[in-house]
């Protein structure tokens, strides 16, 4: 879809679209649903057919009873027919109710599966693609589009209403078809005139209803553009819905008494004149839509009875047929009106899911290599960066520039530098979360882009700054798997410095992290979480171990202790340590100094500390002075 179209759809769901686009959107979203459960709409259609048939059976039974009374039929005969019909209706209603309840369970399953689609997509996508501005914009649109109304559930309700309306129209035509013959036989043109007037009234009511409904949708679904930032209504919505406020930042709110500031960007937004105008438009739209529907329904019901009354006065139909035809005409006109309204709503619901469909259609950009990675028992792997440069998507500034380096087997390398100097970028490129814009990275002399991604990633154990712990058992967090080696898990936790805490927990390594899945779960501190992440890296037993400032929440002594112990655990493996505390990296054989995206120094601690003109000397002395003052 064209970029302009995407932007328009992302900011204003009420803008006009060609009918062809609406139909395409509806077909796409229905295909996704039917792919997840091919029988859902088939069985719900059976329910709708029953729900349409039953009222018409009741209508025809009423007509039969009235005609039988007029004709003086025997009570026994009328009672027998009525009892048989009512028994059949009972069976049909029971069947429809049973099937519908089963379909509701299946609908919940489809809803859950649909909610997982985007998560599965994100797991399968290149990390660089997820981190792109386009993907982030789509994720934001998806959140907004799916948090109005009932999300994808609205699709089920509206499409079921459309199915019911279609079957209701068919039923009305089939059961009420004789009305045309009666009108033609009567030779009266007044009923036909009333019919034309009802059609005109229905069309006018539909147009008015759609107009007012669009005004209501404009209030609900239009988000402020770049020129309306002062409105900040989407921010206030996020705040009100919990995205802007969390119990973790509640401490700052209370300590700094930021109530007025937050109130300015939440409550006050809903009191300003611009929002009140939007609210008034929304209220007028909702009221106008409801009023149009009520007026049309009332007029259609009265007009239907008026038509049949005209035919009845002409003496061409019986009393029972008067009731039957009146009901059919009323149902016919009402069903057509409701069908168009529901179709318009369904088109909007489908349009709200286009952001999800666009996200699912995002294609990966990184080349998927095919070469297997040689499995070496001696871990003889060597990495070389050769004139590598890289910029993050959407950025003009290089995060890493003309970078070259060899990682020797078993080497312990420390990477230091100020924030934004390119340290973490180097790790991401090494793990192939991104590909270089220029240059190449080689594994044993082969460009890493040629290797299979899944096999290449097994070479690395990484603890990032923003590592994630899952709300599962501690052992499953360490093993990153449902099955795990219990003794190895405990050993890795002890090596990472969590032995004492592990012994305190009643369930040991089977303790859940937080209470999302288990009320007895524990909330670990930042330092404990970092130790768990380090234990995870050790458990993987990969030939390359990378620590990207994972101990930032620890004090310098605790950090030095963990790094020293970790150095013993690593043994002969190749290890890279990133830390802003230079004292923690003295045990490393080599130290690489990054500054403004470039490698500016490389050597041992003594060599770099002796270079009084170098960046390392500046950083080392600044930190040494700080510790001396302390």
Q: What is the pLDDT of residues 202-258, one digit of tens each?
A: 777 767 766 666 666 665 555 444 344 444 444 444 444 444 455 556 666 677 666
How many Cβ atoms are within 10 Å of 220's Cβ, its own excluded? Answer: 15
Helix, strand, or coil (residue 490): helix
Question: 188 is written with which tokens?
Answer: 């009266």
Tell me what the mean pLDDT of segment 87-93 comes to.
94
Position with higher pLDDT, 221 vs 48: 48
Q: Mean pLDDT over residues 127-148, rounded? A: 80
Instruction: Flag whether pLDDT at 28 surpasses 60.
Output: yes
Give the DSSP letter string of 116-165.
Answer: HHHHHHHHHS-HHHHTSHHHHHHHHHHHHHHTSTTTTHHHHHHHHHHHHH
DSSP secondary structure, 97-111, as one string: HHHHHHHHHHHHHHH
- pLDDT at position 324 over 90: no
d(Cα 439, Cα 592) in Å, to the nearest integer?
19
Token pair for residue 438? 């220029």
Question: What are φ and ψ of residue 370, in 5° steps?
Answer: -120, -15
Average pLDDT over residues 531-556: 81
Distance in Å from the first CA to the final CA of the chain: 60
Q: What is the DSSP string of 588-621?
A: SSEEEEEETTEEEEEE-HHHHHT-TTSHHHHHHH
| pLDDT (mean) for 284-309 | 70
| Structure token digits, residue 296 | 């049309």
Handedness of CA 152, 156, 159, 165 (dihedral sign): negative
Return the pLDDT at 47.
94
Complete edge-to-edge strand list for the sheet that includes strand 400-407 = 400-407, 383-390, 438-443, 446-447
Local structure of 629: helix, strand or coil = helix
Residue of 509, 527, 511 whose CA lies nearest to 519: 511
Q: What is the pLDDT of residue 236?
A: 44
Contacts of 375 (CB under 8 A, 6+ apart): none
How would residue 3 be classed by pLDDT, with cut points 50, 70 and 90? very low
**Look-up: residue for tokens 């705040």?**
239
Buried b (16+ CB within 10 A) or exposed e, 574-609: bbbbbbebbbbbbebebbbbbbebbbebebebeebb
d(CA 375, CA 89): 71
- Written as six digits, the tokens of 252 are 């700052």
CA angle at 10 for the pair 4 and 15, rounded to the nearest 5°: 75
Report helix, strand or coil for 550: coil
d(CA 289, CA 529) in angstroms, rounded, equals: 55
Indicate the burial class of 395 (C-beta count within 10 angstroms; 0-12, 13-18, 19 or more): exposed
Whether 404 shows a pLDDT value over 90: the answer reads yes
CA distances from 442 to 34, 412, 591 (A): 46, 19, 21
Least confident of 104-113, 186-195, 523-532: 186-195
Q: Look up residue 14 and give its two tokens.
A: 């009420």
Quick one: how far is CA 619 from the chain centroid?
Answer: 44
334: helix, strand or coil: helix
pTM tops 0.75, yes or no: no
pLDDT of residue 31: 86
pLDDT above 90 for 83 = yes
Looking at residue 276, what is its pLDDT?
65
Q: Quote the pLDDT of residue 101.
A: 92
Structure confidence at residue 97 as a pLDDT band (50, 70, 90): very high
Query: What are the phi and psi torsion angles at 48 (to 5°)?
Result: -65, -40
CA distance 8 to 561: 55
The residue that leads in pLDDT, 320 or 263, is: 320
DSSP 58-98: HHHHHHHHHHHHHHT--HHHHHHHHHHHHHHHHHHHHHHHH
Long-range contacts of 387-392 (CB under 8 A, 24+ apart): 387/438, 387/439, 387/440, 388/429, 388/436, 388/438, 388/439, 388/440, 388/441, 389/436, 389/437, 389/438, 389/439, 390/425, 390/429, 390/434, 390/436, 390/437, 390/438, 391/437, 392/131, 392/425, 392/434
369-373: average pLDDT = 87
Other residues' Cβ atoms within 10 Å of the Cβ of residue 340: 19
């Amino acid at each position: 879809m064209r970029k302009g179209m995407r932007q328009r759809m992302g900011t204003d769901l009420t803008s006009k679209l060609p009918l062809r686009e609406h139909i395409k959107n509806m077909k796409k979203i229905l295909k996704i649903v039917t792919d997840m459960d091919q029988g859902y709409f088939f069985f719900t259609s059976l329910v709708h057919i029953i729900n349409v048939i039953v009222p018409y059976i009741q209508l025809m039974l009423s007509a039969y009873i009235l005609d039988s009374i007029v004709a003086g039929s025997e009570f026994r005969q009328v009672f027998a027919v009525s009892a048989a019909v009512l028994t059949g209706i009972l069976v049909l209603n029971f069947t429809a109710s049973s099937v519908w309840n089963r379909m509701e369970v299946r609908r919940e399953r489809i809803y859950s599966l649909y909610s997982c689609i985007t998560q599965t997509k994100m797991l399968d996508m290149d990390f660089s693609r997820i981190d792109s501005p386009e993907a982030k914009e789509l994720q934001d649109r998806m959140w907004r589009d799916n948090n109005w109304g009932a999300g994808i559930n609205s699709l089920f309700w509206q499409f079921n209403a459309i199915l019911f309306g279609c079957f209701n129209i068919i039923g009305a035509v089939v059961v009420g078809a004789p009305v045309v013959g009666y009108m033609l036989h009567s030779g009266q043109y007044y009923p036909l005139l009333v019919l034309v007037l009802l059609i005109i009234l229905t069309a006018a009511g539909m147009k008015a209803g759609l107009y007012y409904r669009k005004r209501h949708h404009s209030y609900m679904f239009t988000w402020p553009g770049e020129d309306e930032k002062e409105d900040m209504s989407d921010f206030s919505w996020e705040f009100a819905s919990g995205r802007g406020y969390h119990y973790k930042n509640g401490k700052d709110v209370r300590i700094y008494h930021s109530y007025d500031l937050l109130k300015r960007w939440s409550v006050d937004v809903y009191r300003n004149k611009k929002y009140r105008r939007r609210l008034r438009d929304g209220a007028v739209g909702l009221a106008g839509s409801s009023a149009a529907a009520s007026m049309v329904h009332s007029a259609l019901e009265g007009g239907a009875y008026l038509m049949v009354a005209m035919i009845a006065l002409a003496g061409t139909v019986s009393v029972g047929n008067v009731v039957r035809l009146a009901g059919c005409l009323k149902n016919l006109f009402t069903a057509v009106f409701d069908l168009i309204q529901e179709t318009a709503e369904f088109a909007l619901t489908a349009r709200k899911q286009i952001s999800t469909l666009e996200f699912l259609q995002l294609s990966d950009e990184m080349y998927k290599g095919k070469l297997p990675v040689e499995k070496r028992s001696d871990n003889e792997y060597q990495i070389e960066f050769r004139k590598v440069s890289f910029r993050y998507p959407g950025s003009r500034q290089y995060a890493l520039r003309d970078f070259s380096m060899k990682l020797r087997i078993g080497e312990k390398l420390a990477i230091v530098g100020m924030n934004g100097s390119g340290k973490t970028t180097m790790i991401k490129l090494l793990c192939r979360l991104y590909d270089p814009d220029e240059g190449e990275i080689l594994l044993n002399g082969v460009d890493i882009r040629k290797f299979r991604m899944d096999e290449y990633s097994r070479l690395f154990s990484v603890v990032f700054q923003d590592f994630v712990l899952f709300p599962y058992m501690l052992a499953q967090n360490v093993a990153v798997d449902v099955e795990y080696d219990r003794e190895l898990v405990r050993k890795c936790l002890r090596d990472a410095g969590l032995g004492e805490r592990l012994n305190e927990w009643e369930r040991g390594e089977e303790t859940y992290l937080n209470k999302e899945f288990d009320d007895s779960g524990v909330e670990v501190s930042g330092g404990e979480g970092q130790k768990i992440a380090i234990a995870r890296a050790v458990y993987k037993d990969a030939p390359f171990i990378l620590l990207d400032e994972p101990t930032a929440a620890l004090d310098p002594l605790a950090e030095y202790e963990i790094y020293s112990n970790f150095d013993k655990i690593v043994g002969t493996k190749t290890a890279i340590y990133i830390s802003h505390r230079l004292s923690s990296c003295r045990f490393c054989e080599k130290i690489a100094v990054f500054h403004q995206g470039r490698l500016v120094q490389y050597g041992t601690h003594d060599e770099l500390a002796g270079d009084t003109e170098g960046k390392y000397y500046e950083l080392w002395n600044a930190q040494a002075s700080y510790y001396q003052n302390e």
